[in-house]
Amino acid sequence: MPENVSSPSLALCPSCLAQNPAEAHFCSRCNAPMSSMAAIDPIGRLWAQGHMIRKAVHRPDRPIVLAGIWLLFGPSAVALGMKLLAILGSDGYGEPPLESIVTIVVVVLLHGGALALLGTILFSTTRNFLRRRAKAISQE
Ligand SMILES: [Zn+2]
């Protein structure tokens, strides 16, 4: 007897159409949430939100997706940039003690890392949106 492809023990991913076990909460190929129970626990919720943001960054289909990413991450990027400029531009009245130099370096590295991450998300989303739009216009 041939194996039934649409057996009840398999479920198709709604995002990439990969076959997964029926009881899977997330797709094994693209990590998309597959069940209504996927995002109930805090880790699952983070995982599902991560999938949504990765999808928005890599395939921003509509202008509202691009605007949403900018509204979500743009203010934080601006605030981090201003904070970083304030830290680097501040005149601490003479030589700071060694402890505060270490603190300043750690704070600058943490802020710089977060700013680089947010900048990468904003840049990649905008670039991918513009590329997809140019491709769609050239195919018309
Ligand atoms: Zn999938």
Residues 6+ apart with CB under 8 A from 99: none
User: Which helix H or strand E contains 51, and what residues bound it?
Assistant: helix 42-58
For residue 19, the CA-to-ligand 1 centroid distance in Å is: 8
Q: Which residue has the tokens 């990590």?
A: 31
pTM strictly above 0.85: no
The reply to whether 44 and 7 lie within a common domain is yes
Number of domains in the chain: 2
Dihedrals φ, ψ of 75, to 5°?
-60, -40
The reply to whether 69 and 38 lie within a common domain is no
| C-alpha span between 116 and 123 (Å, rounded) | 10
The reply to whether 26 and 91 lie within a common domain is no
CB 122 within 8 A of CB 80: no
The last residue of one of the domains, among 58, 86, 105, is 58
For residue 27, the CA-to-ligand 1 centroid distance in Å is: 5
For residue 111, the CA-to-ligand 1 centroid distance in Å is: 34
The last residue of one of the domains, among 14, 34, 58, is 58
Q: Give the DSSP letter of residue 59.
A: -
Structural domain including 51 reads 1-58
Give me the pLDDT at residue 38, please: 84
The reply to whether 40 and 97 lie within a common domain is no
For residue 42, the CA-to-ligand 1 centroid distance in Å is: 21
Give me the pLDDT at residue 103, please: 86
For residue 44, the CA-to-ligand 1 centroid distance in Å is: 15
The reply to whether 66 and 131 lie within a common domain is yes
The last residue of one of the domains, among 28, 58, 88, is 58
Residues 6+ apart with CB under 8 A from 66: 60, 125, 126, 129
Identify which of 57, 85, 51 has the alpha carbon closest to the alpha carbon of residue 73. Answer: 57
For residue 33, the CA-to-ligand 1 centroid distance in Å is: 8
Q: What is the pLDDT along the chain (140 residues), one digit of tens a residue?
A: 444 455 568 999 998 999 999 999 999 999 899 988 888 889 999 999 999 999 999 999 899 999 999 999 999 999 999 998 888 877 666 666 667 888 889 989 999 999 999 999 999 999 999 999 999 999 87
